[in-house]
């Protein structure tokens, strides 16, 4: 049975379409390993995604709205302890669909995760603790946590770029998890360039260094497969979880503007709650959905609006998979333009920081997906639509595993040497 190595890099390139592996001066690690691989031109992240939400989508193979947001307050999904509490509070319903690690564990396959991301994002990659998980904030089981600490020493401090922690996590993967444990599924999820690009502009020296450093980690992982004589039996998928867009002032102060417009009672009132790009309404209070929608439609920083009920001028939340009972009553995207930031990187959207993600712009939605190994026929540059939700069904198909309910993603059969029956892709286009 083939090993599976899923290498997740946070926002590997700020303009994905222009930084595919043929640009060997940008990402030599990827270029050396995958100049003859499969990649997808139209790989999309989900809508309205923070890091932890993209982890949900990738691990369960579904654009799923179970992001852990309670209408009364936002749950800190970056903290694994809060997610553990939420899992207990919901009776084990933190994830309502089986994750990739969970399916492997239940099938008796071994799993190993190394991550330099937030503890919450790492927890979501293996929330049932199947096999071994390493993160700078926690590691399980304890015997492996102790072995990692003895072998690799103190964990480097958090930094931007996060070179020390990214290198540490990569070494844990290559020297310990792969070198000694030889898992059936290995996941390396690195924090940069996302970690750096939230604080330093896209195109800046710091941002470019974060990209170079993560590419070096990818190169180290690929060399380790060769050194361990695993490359002929290992399928590798390299993916970024979302894109990025530069912020421009003024930022979005929606709750304040709602109070000023008279559609929300006060700054801390509960009749209308704003959580990120979601709006929750208290039934029986306030002025109702139509007034909120009308306010948003007139706001200069608000773009597309999604609702679960028919409201003139809005799109249905069913189009983006946000129909769960935890979903907001209204979701909206920030406006964006194709103007450039000070470093010449295209794309601007309202925000108070340097750069962000979670909207519907091309810069935020476009991502990266490369696949290579014995199960993939390459080289292929596919123009078929795809997304990070396609990773789970593709990996399961390679290993001959099924999951119930079926994932929302598709098997990337066009790139496989032996695609499963019924995986022939068909694309359609709809305008809403």
- How many domains does the structure of the chain reveal? 2
| 15 belongs to a structural domain | yes
Q: Is residue 293 part of a domain?
A: yes
In a domain, 200, yes or no: yes
State whether 138 and 96 are in the same domain.
Answer: yes
Are 240 and 10 in contact by the 8 Å Cβ rule? The answer is yes
Sign of CA dihedral 188, 218, 192, 69: negative
> pLDDT class for 424, splitting at 50, 70, 90?
confident
Contact 195, 160 (CB under 8 A): yes
Judged by average pLDDT, the poorest of 61-65, 276-280, 317-321 is: 61-65
Clarify whether residues 271 and 391 are in a common domain. no
Q: Tell me if 426 is assigned to some domain.
A: no
* Domain shared by 75 and 210, yes or no: yes
**Is 123 domain-assigned?**
yes
- The reported pLDDT for the residue numbered 387 is 87
Cβ neighbour number for residue 19 with a 10 Å cutoff = 16
| Whether residue 145 sits in one domain with residue 109 | yes
Average pLDDT over every residue of 342-354: 95
Report yes or no on 431 lying in a domain: no
- Output the pLDDT for position 373: 94
pLDDT score, position 427: 81
Q: Do 143 and 38 fall into the same domain?
A: yes
Q: How far is CA 24 from CA 29, 178, 209, 210, 420, in A?
A: 8, 27, 15, 16, 33
Spacing of C-alpha 289 from chain mean position: 30
Query: Per-residue pLDDT averaged across 122-148, rounded?
Result: 96
Q: Label residue 72 by pLDDT band (50, 70, 90).
A: very low
Asked if 19 and 142 sit in the same domain, the reply is yes
Full residue range of the structural domain in which residue 298 is found: 254-343+347-356
pLDDT at 18: 39
Q: Does any domain span residue 382?
A: yes
Q: State the chain's mean pLDDT as an integer.
A: 86
- For residues 177 and 268, membership in a common domain is answered with no
**Partner residues linked to 302 by β-bridges:** 334
- What confidence tens digit (pLDDT) does each residue in 1-28 have? 344 555 544 333 333 333 344 445 678 8
* Bridge partner list, 134: 114, 139
Is the domain of 312 the same as that of 259? yes
CA distance linking residue 303 with residue 394, whole number of Å: 34
pLDDT at 177 over 90: yes
Note the pLDDT tens digit of each residue in 317-338: 988 878 878 789 999 999 999 9
- Same-domain pairing of 203 and 220: yes
Contact present, 219 and 227 (Cβ < 8 Å):
no
CATH label of the domain that carries residue 280: 3.30.1360
**Mean pLDDT for the stretch of residues 110-122:** 96
Q: Is the peptide bond before 161 cis (omega within 30 degrees of 0)?
A: yes
285 and 185 co-located in one domain: no
Q: What is the DSSP string of 69-120?
A: -BTTB---TT-HHHHHHHHHHTTS-SSSS--HHHHHHHTT--EEEEE-S-HH
Give the per-residue pLDDT at 47: 61
Tell me, yes or no, whether 110 and 167 share the same domain. Answer: yes
Band of pLDDT at residue 53, cut at 50, 70 and 90: low
Return the SS3 of 36. coil
pLDDT of residue 48: 57
Do 122 and 220 fall into the same domain?
yes
Residue 10 maps to which CATH number? 3.40.720.10
């Amino acid at each position: 049975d083939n090993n599976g190595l899923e290498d997740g890099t946070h926002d590997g390139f700020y303009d994905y379409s222009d930084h595919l592996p043929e640009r060997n001066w940008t990402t030599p690690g990827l270029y050396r390993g995958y100049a003859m691989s499969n990649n997808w031109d139209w790989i999309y992240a989900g809508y309205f995604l923070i890091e932890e939400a993209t982890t949900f989508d990738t691990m369960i193979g579904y654009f799923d709205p179970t992001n852990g947001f309670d209408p009364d307050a936002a749950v800190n999904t970056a903290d694994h302890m809060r997610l553990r509490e939420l899992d207990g509070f919901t009776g084990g319903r933190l994830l309502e669909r089986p994750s990739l690690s969970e399916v492997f564990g239940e099938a008796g396959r071994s799993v190993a995760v190394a991550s330099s991301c937030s503890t919450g994002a790492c927890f979501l990659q293996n929330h049932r603790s199947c096999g071994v998980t390493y993160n700078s904030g926690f590691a399980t089981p304890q015997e492996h946590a102790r072995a990692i600490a003895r072998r690799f020493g103190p964990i480097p401090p958090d930094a931007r770029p996060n070179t020390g922690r990214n290198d540490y996590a990569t070494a844990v993967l290559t020297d310990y998890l792969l070198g000694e444990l030889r898992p059936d599924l290995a996941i390396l999820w690195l924090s940069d360039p996302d970690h750096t690009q939230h604080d330093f502009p896209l195109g800046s020296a710091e941002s470019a260094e974060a990209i170079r450093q993560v590419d070096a980690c990818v190169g180290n992982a690929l060399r380790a497969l060769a050194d361990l004589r695993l490359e002929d039996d290992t399928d590798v998928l390299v993916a970024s979880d979302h894109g990025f867009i530069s912020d421009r002032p003024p930022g979005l102060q929606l709750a304040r503007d709602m109070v000023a417009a008279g559609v929300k009672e006060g700054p801390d009132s509960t009749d209308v709650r704003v959580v990120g790009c979601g709006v929750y309404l208290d039934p029986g209070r306030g002025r109702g959905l139509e007034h909120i929608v009308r306010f948003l439609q007139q706001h200069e920083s608000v773009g597309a609006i999604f609702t679960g009920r028919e409201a003139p001028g809005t799109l249905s939340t069913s189009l983006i998979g946000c129909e769960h009972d935890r979903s907001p009553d209204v979701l909206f995207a920030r406006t964006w333009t194709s103007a450039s930031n000070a470093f010449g990187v295209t794309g601007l959207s309202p925000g108070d920081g340097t750069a962000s993600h979670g909207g519907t712009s091309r810069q935020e939605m476009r991502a990266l997906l490369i696949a290579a190994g014995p199960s993939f026929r390459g080289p292929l540059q596919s123009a078929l639509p795809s997304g990070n939700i396609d990773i789970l069904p593709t990996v399961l198909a390679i290993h001959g595993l099924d999951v119930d309910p079926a994932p929302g993603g598709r098997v990337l059969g066009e790139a496989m040497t032996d695609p499963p029956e019924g995986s022939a892709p068909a694309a359609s286009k709809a305008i809403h």
